[in-house]
Chains A and B, each alone.
Chain A
């Protein structure tokens, strides 16, 4: 697995921020992007670690928020601080092994 540089992660973060401004990004969406960067030989553990590393500053700044989606386009924010949220995501990720559509958590940007 390649050691991912800041430029790689900055690029991917910018893309998520742009996409999250209008779309609901599943954990699978972020994981697949990181998986693509790391290459086919990356393990799921490596994908998870790098994804959470890329995600942390976005959650800290509030640029992306971890949410559950509800009926009618509503959503509820995940409770807890960023560390707790990341721990919970990691735990859910391990439980599903490879998070798919609708699994674990969604991320959204600020909504008007």
Chain B
């Protein structure tokens, strides 16, 4: 979610970006730290309230980022500014009371507000589904469908766990074993969108509900806002069972993408392998340099050359001699290219990476 928000740089979403990065996110991270501290100190009830608030907030913010991203794109596609603004205002008016209630950490208030807006999450999913159609862009529609799908899956995975735990806790039964949803590929997909923090919250939530610490009413209200025990998928989005059966990144709903291929499936096989090597488990290798797309690895020329050669070998890239570069290779099927320099003006050996959507431009090797 944080990474997605960093991509928001258009003028129409600038305020949202600034507020998200500078105000909301630090506040939520602070609460997460507090929740952890309380849980470690054995103050389960207080920790539970904070995790509960973070869970609701994270769902609202996941949609907020997706909708702002769509607003930015619509702006670039010359949709009328008034139309975009009115959509943003409508979303803000719906999201604001839920977020405000969540941040009170008061279970009764959260339950009340969720019960008062039972259709709100499904409505946002519909908005994301319909917006690309309005600006008549099939390619972006597929991207948005993927985002909605990820959010829907996150929500489904989280709430199914919470709902099941609530039922058990409400029935006075003992704590439950780990729920299957977290052991499936689906759990991994959920984690891939909002990251381990949300998964951690969901898991802690499950345990706390099972122990009778968390408020069952809030969890029940959350579940109702998604239409019951199994969240309704947005139009064109597979349901929880279908999604659980899919490997990570392996499918996008038919009819949304036009050709039924996800970005990863569309990417050449070489680029997909490069993704696995440079972004294992969705996490970029190494440490960030002066930006997240500059990665720092420990090593020298030998390590740099070894990684370059591994990339060439395992992606099936074709090496080409190019002046000024110690190595250069093009991935098959237009999947991108990589270059190798034994030194750079700042010193270290460097691999230049030009693979669309990977999120890495350069890898430096520092001893």
Contacts and interface: CB of A to CB of B under 8 A. Distances in A.
Nearest to B330: A100
Contact of B345 (A2, A24, A38): A24
A7 B75 CA distance: 13
B289 interface: yes
Taking residues whose C-beta sits less than 8 angstroms from the other chain, chain A's interface range is 20 to 34
Contact of A18 (B14, B291, B322): B291
A39 interface: yes
A108 B345 contact: yes
A21 interface: yes
A73 B322 contact: no
B304 to A, nearest CB: 13
A95 to B, nearest CB: 14
Contact of B10 (A8, A19, A26): A8
Given A7-B10, A37-B76, A101-B354, A22 B328 contact: no
A23 B362 contact: yes
Interface string A99-112: 01110000010010
Contact of B289 (A15, A22, A40): A22
Interface string B333-367: 00001110101111100101010000001101000
A78 interface: no
B364 A102 contact: no
Interface in A45-95: 67-69, 71-75
A5 B339 contact: no
B324 interface: yes
A101 B345 contact: no
B303 to A, nearest CB: 17
A18 to B, nearest CB: 5
A101 B76 CA distance: 27
B364 to A, nearest CB: 7
B324 A69 contact: yes
A59 B164 CA distance: 60
A15 to B, nearest CB: 7
Contacts of B14: 7
A40 B339 CA distance: 24
A81 to B, nearest CB: 22
B291 A19 contact: yes
A111 B354 contact: no
B294 A19 contact: yes
Interface string A23-50: 1101011001000011110000000000
B354 A102 contact: no
Interface of B: 9-11, 14, 73, 75-78, 139, 289-291, 293-294, 322-325, 328, 337-339, 341, 343-347, 350, 352, 354, 361-362, 364
Given A2-B78, A12-B9, A23-B294, 11 more contacts: A7-B9, A7-B11, A19-B289, A24-B346, A28-B354, A29-B361, A68-B324, A69-B341, A102-B322, A102-B339, A111-B345
16 contacts: A2-B75, A18-B290, A19-B290, A19-B293, A19-B361, A22-B289, A23-B344, A23-B362, A24-B345, A24-B346, A39-B76, A73-B343, A73-B345, A73-B347, A101-B337, A102-B323
Closest 8 CB pairs of A and B: A101-B339, A73-B343, A7-B11, A2-B76, A11-B9, A102-B325, A101-B352, A22-B290
